[in-house]
């Protein structure tokens, strides 16, 4: 019983003190500009939307780059013994094209705002 009374006493005392603290004016810098926040949010939403719509393309391109690399290396491994120059040249072209595609894919990915 005593604990309950003490608890209620604490509650009202804390309530008064907290309201007094809340009433103290705050020294604050200028508040954030809502128009700027709106604009930033719209830009972020557009970026989210763009990333969502281009995700399948980016996944497909990554798969293509992977397949081209595997194909190039396989060609070099299997045809290297019979026609080494042609095989190495084809493999180098394939791997080079894959590297360029991967680099272009990375360069196009939008950075964080």
Q: By the criterion CB under 8 A, which residues form the site for another protein?
A: 7, 10-11, 13-22, 24-29, 31-32, 34-35, 37-38, 40-42, 44-45, 48
Q: How far is the CB of 34 from another protein (least distance, A)?
A: 4
Query: 80: how many CB neighbours lie within 10 A of its CB?
Result: 14
Is the CB of 2 or the CB of 82 nearer to another protein?
2
Q: How far is CA 21 from the centre of its chain?
A: 40
**Phi and psi angles of residue 27, each rounded to the nearest 5 degrees, phi first:** -90, 105
Is the CB of 12 or the CB of 81 nearer to another protein?
12
Q: How far is the CB of 7 from another protein (least distance, A)?
A: 6
Q: Is there a contact between 105 and 62 (Cβ–Cβ < 8 Å)?
A: yes
Is the CB of 3 or the CB of 85 nearer to another protein?
3
CA distance 98 to 73: 11
Query: Residue 108: helix, strand or coil by DSSP?
Result: helix
Q: How far is the CB of 65 from another protein (least distance, A)?
A: 31
């Amino acid at each position: 019983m005593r604990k309950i009374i003490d608890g209620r006493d604490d509650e009202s005392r804390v309530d008064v003190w907290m309201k007094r603290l809340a009433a103290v004016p705050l020294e604050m810098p200028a508040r954030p500009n809502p128009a700027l926040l709106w604009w930033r949010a719209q830009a972020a939403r557009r970026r989210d939307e763009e990333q969502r719509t281009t995700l399948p393309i980016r996944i497909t391109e990554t798969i293509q780059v992977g397949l081209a690399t595997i194909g190039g290396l396989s060609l070099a491994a299997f045809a290297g013994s019979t026609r080494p120059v042609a095989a190495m040249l084809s493999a180098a072209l394939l791997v080079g094209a894959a590297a360029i595609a991967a680099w272009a894919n990375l360069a196009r990915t939008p950075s964080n705002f």
